[in-house]
């Protein structure tokens, strides 16, 4: 069974600080990896995804994530956060199988608050 761990449940940063949110997964096969973001009062939105290829993937709004297969990790980074990045961030994984159900397994989320 797949599982996802997000170690930081609450993070508070000042504007312009750098961000790194940890995500580790447990699964024995090929995986697809995702970061979703939920801004206050809004629905889950896809931030970025990794299927294969370059392990450093870039998403929207200046976010990037690095897949490190040996560490089963997919950490999210942003060099300089903005107040508007205040949101809850979810790491998710599904089996990298074509034709499969591809249900997502989510971590518990990290609540990021960016202070002015």
Applying CB under 8 A, does 50 fall inside the site for other proteins?
Answer: no
Q: Which of 96, 61, 80, 106 is nearest to 20 (CA)?
A: 80
Please report how close the Cβ of residue 44 comes to other proteins at its closest, in angstroms: 4
Q: Which of 14, 16, 20, 51 binds other proteins (CB under 8 A)?
A: 51
Applying CB under 8 A, does 4 fall inside the site for other proteins?
Answer: yes
Residues 6+ apart with CB under 8 A from 47: 34, 35, 36, 37, 59, 60, 61, 63, 76, 89
Binding site for other proteins (CB under 8 A): 4, 32, 34, 36, 42-46, 49, 51, 90, 92, 94, 98-109
């Amino acid at each position: 069974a797949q599982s996802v761990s997000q170690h930081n449940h609450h993070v508070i940063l000042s504007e312009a600080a750098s961000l790194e949110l940890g995500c580790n997964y447990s699964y024995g096969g090929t995986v697809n990896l995702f970061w979703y973001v939920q801004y206050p009062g809004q629905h889950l939105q896809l931030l970025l995804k990794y299927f294969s290829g370059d392990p450093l993937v870039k998403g929207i709004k200046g976010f990037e994530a690095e897949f490190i297969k040996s560490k089963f990790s997919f950490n999210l980074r942003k060099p300089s956060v903005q107040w508007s990045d205040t949101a809850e961030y979810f790491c998710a994984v599904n089996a990298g199988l074509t034709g499969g159900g591809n249900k997502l397994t989510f971590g518990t989320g990290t609540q990021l608050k960016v202070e002015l």
